């Protein structure tokens, strides 16, 4: 990359950062929702619908139109008479919580991380961290909202059916422990996909557990899905679970070996221990693809500081390559890991292999 290319890239990144920030404003202030539900609006109508000052509404509408997110019916009309609208395809990305194209939560996530820059700089200087709770509710809800459509649409339809013995175990009715369940969408998706299965979700974040319980009630599965605000290592249910899962959380943990060890104890001898984590290249190789760039960015701003907020810490970070998980698994008492045949560009799925008599 030469000087001109790097300059162009940084300018494009600046435009992207500005877009994310203004998308955050549009989502949080209800401006997108007003346009979606009411149709084309003038700046004054948008301001009234969102409860904001008309001058700011006008500036936001014009900026969103110039950047290509909104449309205007007649740009030559007097400013007060112009009517702005949200294209249906754009509404899918910005508002449709069920769509795999829903990416508005990323604006929430990056904004929440940006608000912690002073704390992040202090952590970088001292070797400390920024705890998950320190990022505030925008971080918690953005992660849950980003993962929700994937869990709800793909887990029971594509991911687990790609592993026949796991799929059959769940279809037959299983007891599942979902470790690091967050706001509970993975647990709820399992229960919805497998009606004879019961799920216990465990998480250390109390706000996430409270939200998960509400989500389970709203989804109609509260009788089969329970959530507990507890460290999985403290759960006294050794050998009770047919399936034990950890979705996109092992890399965040200060002590991943202890949690994997708890997962091994919770599983029956013939049970399945499943880990979903980031699909990054198996080796560091210098300049990477967009997914690896994305994961490193999240690691620097969110996941590594969260993990480092506890001491001692493994300091894993988002970019957890297969060899790292293999080492953690073996230290936790597993024989190794199996990469499962589930195709996804963001996540890799592993089954942790128990120690057998032949390898013990």
DSSP string computed for 110-178: HHHHHTTHHHHHHHHHHT----GGGG-HHHHHHHHHHHHHHIIIIIIIIIGGGSHHHHHHHHT--EEEE
Q: What is the pLDDT along the chain (360 residues), one digit of tens a residue?
A: 899 999 999 999 999 999 999 999 999 999 999 999 999 999 999 999 999 999 999 999 999 999 999 999 999 999 999 999 999 999 999 999 999 999 999 999 999 999 999 999 999 999 999 999 999 999 999 999 999 999 999 999 999 999 999 999 999 999 999 999 999 999 999 999 999 999 999 999 999 999 999 999 999 999 999 999 999 888 889 899 999 999 999 999 999 999 999 999 999 999 999 999 999 999 999 999 999 999 999 999 999 999 999 999 999 999 999 999 999 999 999 999 999 999 999 999 999 998 654 444
- Print burial letters for 207-241: b (CB count within 10 Å at least 16), e (below 16): bbbebbbebbeebebbebbbbbeeebbebeeeebb
Q: Can you give the residue range of the structural domain that contains 236?
A: 109-354
Q: What is the DSSP string of 56-93?
A: HHHHHHHHHHHTTSSEES-TTS-GGG--EE--HHHHHH
If asked whether residues 67 and 33 sit together in one domain, one would say: yes
Please tell me whether residues 338 and 309 are part of one structural domain: yes
134, 81: one domain: no
pLDDT of residue 236: 87
Domain count, the chain: 2
Q: Are residues 253 and 318 in the same domain?
A: yes
User: Both 56 and 126 in a single domain?
Assistant: no
Are 178 and 202 contacting, i.e. CB atoms less than 8 angstroms apart?
A: yes
Q: What are phi and psi of 249, to 5 degrees?
A: -140, -20
pTM of the model as a whole: 0.93
CATH of the domain at 15: 1.10.10.10
**How is residue 223 annotated by DSSP?**
T
- Judge if 204 and 89 occupy the same domain: no
What's the confidence (pLDDT) of residue 358?
44
Query: Does residue 344 lie in a domain region?
Result: yes
Q: CA 10, 16, 21, 25: dihedral to nearest 10 degrees?
A: 160
In the prediction, which pLDDT does 255 show? 96
Q: Kindly state whether residues 36 and 78 are assigned to the same domain.
A: yes
Q: Are residues 126 and 82 in the same domain?
A: no
CA–CA separation, 241 and 269 (whole Å)? 9
Q: Are residues 126 and 269 in the same domain?
A: yes
Q: Are residues 343 and 243 in the same domain?
A: yes
């Amino acid at each position: 990359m030469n000087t001109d290319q790097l300059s162009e890239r940084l300018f494009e990144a600046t435009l992207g950062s500005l877009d994310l920030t203004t998308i955050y404003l549009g989502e949080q202030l209800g401006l997108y929702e007003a346009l979606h539900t009411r149709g084309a609006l003038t700046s004054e109508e948008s301001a009234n619908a969102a409860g904001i000052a008309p001058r700011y509404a006008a500036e936001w509408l014009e900026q969103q139109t110039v950047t290509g997110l909104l449309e205007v019916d007649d740009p030559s009309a007097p400013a007060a008479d112009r009517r702005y609208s949200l294209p249906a395809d754009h509404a899918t990305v910005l508002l449709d919580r069920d769509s795999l194209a829903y990416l508005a939560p990323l604006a929430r996530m990056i904004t929440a991380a940006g608000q912690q820059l002073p704390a992040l700089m202090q952590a970088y200087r001292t070797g400390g961290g920024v705890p998950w709770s320190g990022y505030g509710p925008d971080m918690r809800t953005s992660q849950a909202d980003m993962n929700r459509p994937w869990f709800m649409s793909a887990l029971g339809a594509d991911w687990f059916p790609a592993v026949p013995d796991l799929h059959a175990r769940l279809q037959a009715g299983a007891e599942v422990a979902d470790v690091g369940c967050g706001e509970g969408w993975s647990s709820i998706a399992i229960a919805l996909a497998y009606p004879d299965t019961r799920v216990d979700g465990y998480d250390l974040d109390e706000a996430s557990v409270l939200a998960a319980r509400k989500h389970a009630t709203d989804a109609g599965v509260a009788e089969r899905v329970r959530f507990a605000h507890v460290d999985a290592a403290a759960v006294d249910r050794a050998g009770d679970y047919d399936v034990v899962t950890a979705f996109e959380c092992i890399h965040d943990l200060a002590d991943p070996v202890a949690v994997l060890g708890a997962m091994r104890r919770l599983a029956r001898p013939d049970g399945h221990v499943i880990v979903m984590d980031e699909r990054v290249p198996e080796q560091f190789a210098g300049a990477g693809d967009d997914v690896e760039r994305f994961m490193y960015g999240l690691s620097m701003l969110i996941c590594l500081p969260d993990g480092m907020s506890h001491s001692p810490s493994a300091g894993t970070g988002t970019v957890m390559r297969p060899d790292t998980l293999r080492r953690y698994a073996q230290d936790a008492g597993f024989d190794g890991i199996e990469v499962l045949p589930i195709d996804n560009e963001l996540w890799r799925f592993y089954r942790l292999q128990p120690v057998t008599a032949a390898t013990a």
